[in-house]
Amino acid sequence: MKNNDVKKRIQLIMFLPIVMALVLMGVSVYLFGTESPEGIATLIILGVYMLIAVITFFRISPEISRTLMDYSMEHGKVQKELLRELDVPYAILDQDAQILWANDMFHDVIEVHRSKRLRKSIEYYFPEITNDVLQNAFENIVEVEHGDKVYRIETKDIDLGSVFEDDGIDHSEGDVVIAMYLFDVTDLRKYEKYAIDQKLYAGLVYIDNYDEVMDSLEDVKHSILTALVDRKINMYLNNIDAIVKHIENDKYFFVFRQKYMDTLKKDRFSLLEEVKNINVGNDINMTLSIGIGSESSMDTNSFTNSYENARTAIGLALGRGGDQVAIKIDDKVTYFGGKSAGTEKTTRVKARVKAQAFEELLQSKDNVIIMAHKRPDADAFGSAMGIYRLATTLGKKSYVVLNEVTDAIRPLYNTFANGINYEGVFLKSSEAIAQVNNDTMVVVCDVNKPSMTECEELLSMVSTVVIFDHHRQTSESISETTLSYIEPFASSACEMIAEMYQYVSRNPKLRTQEADAMYAGILIDTDNFLNKTGVRTFEAASYLRKNGADVTRVRKMFRSSIDVMKEQAQGIANAEVFMDVFALSYVESDEKMKEAPTIAVAKVANELLNVVDIKASFVVTEGLDGILYVSGRSTGEINVQVILEKWGGGGHATVAGAQLEGRKKDDFFRELKGSLRQMYSEGDL
């Protein structure tokens, strides 16, 4: 409260008796008159009282002003002394961050003698507190480390003009100083970190190829290999003070505290390589997959949720081919490892189980809508037609969503479009949506990312969604699927569908066009059986041959035009070798062509693998639609899927791709080279 305000209020209080005396004199005159003894006595008494009150008012009023002034000055001195001796470091700065005044505790914090005047800016003592931080800073809060202490610095703007506007002191408009407080939060942050470090993480360790390794090893060595693997896992996890439980022959469960997570990340989970290097005569290296789960919030932290996240993470790690670590915290997933292409599964049990489950689902539905990924290739189209024939054999009305007929599938599509047996089968997205009812099933082929499907809206419109895919899973996946068959070890989705045909009770019979389409899918995805092929690949191809697929006919369909051959030659001529093992190239788009030369890009990427010492190739083209198309190929020694995943791409270890909107090839190659250098230095390649 201002001094003048206090003075006025006290004067008002002292003036009130005079007013009351006048009022009482008027009342006395009214009641007793001026001639009666009572009236005269009352007026005399009130007059004397009023005279005393007036004399007191005029004599004491100056004393009040002097007393208030003395009090104000003493009060200011007390306040200043209290601020100087305050246990909280406090300083006043000007708008240029120069220190105008600081109390004793502030001097102690910055280790400057209390009697010495501070002439430097606050940034000299606290580099984090720059002019930018203080500029227009109203109640800013910043945490800084100073020595072995952590301080929470709070600043507040004070407008001197508003402070002194009633005191008659002239201050220019905008004359502002900054009050700064330093609060020691060292112990608070220490206890917070301790609480966070004690948070438990759940983990699962699965041996990817336990059965395959044991089958390749002599029986007498089984126990030796098992003991060595068990010892490696236990020793590694004991280093992070983890509790480990061996729950099955090929599965472990462990729990550890968050404080060790950074240790594991810096080590890049060397356990993967340690187990892979164990050899007691086994022809196949044993590989591990690790899933770790937790929650970021301490308020909602639940160990049950952490365990569920760990289960989801191990599923992602296995879905991407194994030999890697997946860490899932809330919705964020981080991957480590995954350099190897994995080991082919020789058992067909999974294919039989999935085929029977799919047949049961088909029996419960009347309507089947099949779709693959955008800009479908031969594998996407062939697998979709394979599912179409399987569903129609069981008497279900089936449709295939096809928004665009690309050059990659045009030869195959024409064999269906020219006949009458497939009228009304191929639908646009809008037409497919109109066919949805309560008995509709959606089957997704050759893709597991919802954003890449032909019609993402269909996934949320039906209750039954089935996926058949051979690409590694990413953090973006189709949720709440009724049946999911994702096999990264398969060469193609067509191979998976061909295997399933052999376990369906109705014994479906493929038509010639359908067998050709599925055979073409395997042929294209394996680059004429050169990449990603195994025993099951050739068995699937043999099955399709028995059902009418003609090798010569399919080969003629996919002969290149002279323009594609020229584009392919251009791509090879543009190639450069990077780090001695990577081939990088590009194919220029022709404005006369309606589509980007994606076929030529894929063929160039395959051809560049024939160069001596080249382990992986990346070829791009800038489409006229503003999309940069990237094809990655590998001989198997480098995982191109892990590399292109950084740009939202996908695929599997030896064949991967990406589509980047609004990007130029020069920018992409610069980023790619930087990423390859970093991954090589960190041992991820």
Give per-residue pLDDT as tens, 569-607.
Answer: 988 999 999 998 999 999 887 666 656 677 788 889 988
- Return the beta strands (E) in 571-634 as ranges: 576-578, 582-586, 616-622, 627-634
- The proportion of the chain whose per-residue pLDDT surpasses 70, expressed as a percent, equals 87
Structure confidence at residue 255 (pLDDT):
94
Rounded-to-integer distance, Cα 468 and Cα 466, Å: 7
Give per-residue pLDDT as tens, 481-496.
Answer: 888 888 877 888 999 9
Q: Is the pLDDT of residue 285 over 60?
A: yes
The mean pLDDT value for 643-663 works out to: 82
Pure H helices in 269-408: 271-276, 303-319, 349-363, 378-393
Phi, psi of 225 (to 5 degrees): -65, -45
**Confidence class for position 167, pLDDT limits 50, 70, 90:** very low
The answer to whether 102 and 118 have CB atoms below 8 angstroms apart is: yes
Pick the residue with more confidence: 654 or 4? 654
**Confidence class for position 310, pLDDT limits 50, 70, 90:** very high
Phi, psi of 174 (to 5 degrees): 85, 10
Look at residues 349, 384, 656 and name the one whose alpha carbon lies nearest to residue 532: 656
The answer to whether 295 and 301 have CB atoms below 8 angstroms apart is: yes
- DSSP assigned state of 121: B
Rounded-to-integer distance, Cα 621 and Cα 596, Å: 7
Structure confidence at residue 542 (pLDDT):
92
* Most confident listed range (153-167, 205-219, 584-598): 205-219
* Most confident listed range (115-119, 234-238, 483-487): 234-238
Q: Is the pLDDT of residue 169 over 60?
A: no
Rounded-to-integer distance, Cα 33 and Cα 53, Å: 24
Give per-residue pLDDT as tens, 400-434.
Answer: 999 988 888 888 999 888 777 888 899 999 999 99
Q: Is the pLDDT of residue 172 over 60?
A: no
Residue type for position 563: D
Least confident of 59-63, 155-159, 180-184, 316-320: 59-63
Q: Is the pLDDT of residue 2 over 50?
A: yes
Rounded-to-integer distance, Cα 495 and Cα 523, Å: 10
Mapped to the 3 state alphabet, what secondary structure does 424-475 carry? Answer: CCEECHHHHHHCCCCCEEEEEECCCCHHHECCHHHHHCCCEEEEEECCCCCC
Count of alpha carbons within 13 Å of 434, Cβ hemisphere only? 5
Rounded-to-integer distance, Cα 382 and Cα 501, Å: 14
Tokens of 459: 């996934």
Q: Is the pLDDT of residue 386 over 50?
A: yes
* Distance, C-alpha 46 to centroid of its chain: 87
Structure confidence at residue 74 (pLDDT):
59
Structure confidence at residue 259 (pLDDT):
87
**Confidence class for position 502, pLDDT limits 50, 70, 90:** confident
Pick the residue with more confidence: 375 or 292? 292
The mean pLDDT value for 247-272 works out to: 90
Pick the residue with more confidence: 236 or 30? 236
Rounded-to-integer distance, Cα 467 and Cα 482, Å: 9
Structure confidence at residue 460 (pLDDT):
87
Pick the residue with more confidence: 406 or 532? 406
Least confident of 79-83, 96-100, 641-645: 79-83
Tokens of 667: 């920018």
Rounded-to-integer distance, Cα 589 and Cα 496, Å: 34
Q: Which pTM was predicted? A: 0.60
Give the chain's mean pLDDT.
82
The mean pLDDT value for 159-166 works out to: 56
Rounded-to-integer distance, Cα 495 and Cα 539, Å: 9
**Confidence class for position 173, pLDDT limits 50, 70, 90:** very low
The answer to whether 465 and 442 have CB atoms below 8 angstroms apart is: yes
Structure confidence at residue 170 (pLDDT):
45
Q: Give the full edge-to-edge strand order of the sheet including 243-248.
A: 243-248, 251-257, 200-207, 288-294, 324-329, 332-337
Find residue 631's DSSP bridge partners.
Answer: 619, 657
